[in-house]
Structure 1
């Protein structure tokens, strides 16, 4: 499968969540503030990126995150609504590149780039000795 045949620049998706305690840095690291953890923000950015393109992939194909270049700009406490967006900005044969952003009620809290690699699940699992 060639991603250029089915994925188009500008495809996008948005996710929202209310920050729960289990997605805070304080949940993972004792003594730290109960604010939205950077890895959890990146997770939502990756999920939004997948959401933007998954419906267009052929059966048996998925994308896996391969690159992350993200800045976390502002702290967001538990109970705050966060909106995360992803937009396709480049498509190569097996790599899809995204611009990602996250916002709370007041401002942009994260921004950056993310890339996902196109993978045939069956071949991937065989290569790992799992199929």
Structure 2
């Protein structure tokens, strides 16, 4: 990773919630999820927070590097209906070797909907991918 990412760096990322990002779509195989209201799912909010952090890190990574989520601690405090825009505000709060920590805050067009912290580990894809292929080869069916 380049030395350009600093503690205190901020980033903003927006996304309009679609029907595909609501609770019934999180696990359509689950009758329990399908019976819930069609509002922005916590799982998709977490994914959006990760996406915002990935986007914030992009200009600071070297060629062949990426990042993986390794920690998440957030609260989802308000429901958001489809059609509303959600904006995630990201602040880098800690750099520790190949690990980067962020404060994340998500707001829809009306109010705060979620907040917490997210940690990412920087990886080299040419090292990570072979390990996953090796693991997948161990699947017993």
TM-score (norm 1): 0.90
Q: Conserved in 2, the CA contact under 8 Å of 1:14 and 1:86? A: yes
Q: CA deviation at 1:84?
A: 1.1
The structure with the larger Rg is 2
> Per-residue displacement from partner, 1:28-64 (whole Å, max 9, x unpaired)?
3211101000011111100111111111111111111
Partner of 2:11: 13
Q: Distance in 1 between matches of 2:58 and 2:15?
A: 20
User: For residues 81-122 of structure 1, what are the alpha-carbon distances to aligned partners after superposition, in whole Å with 9 as ceiling and x for unaligned?
Assistant: 111121110001010000001001111100000000010111
CA RMSD of aligned residues (A): 1.5
Separation in structure 2 between the aligned mates of residue 108 and residue 120 of structure 1, nearest angstrom: 35
Task: State the Cα distance separating 1:16 from its structure 2 match.
Answer: 1.2
* Residues in 1 aligned to 2:15 and 2:58: alpha-carbon distance in whole angstroms: 20
Specify every segment of 5 or more residues in structure 2 that has no aligned partner in the other structure, as ranges.
27-32, 135-141
Q: What is the match of residue 105 of structure 1? A: 109
Contact 1:11 1:53 in 2 (8 A): no
- Report how far residue 7 of structure 1 moved: 2.1
Q: TM-score, normalised by structure 2?
A: 0.84
**Structure 1: 5+ residue runs without aligned partners?**
none
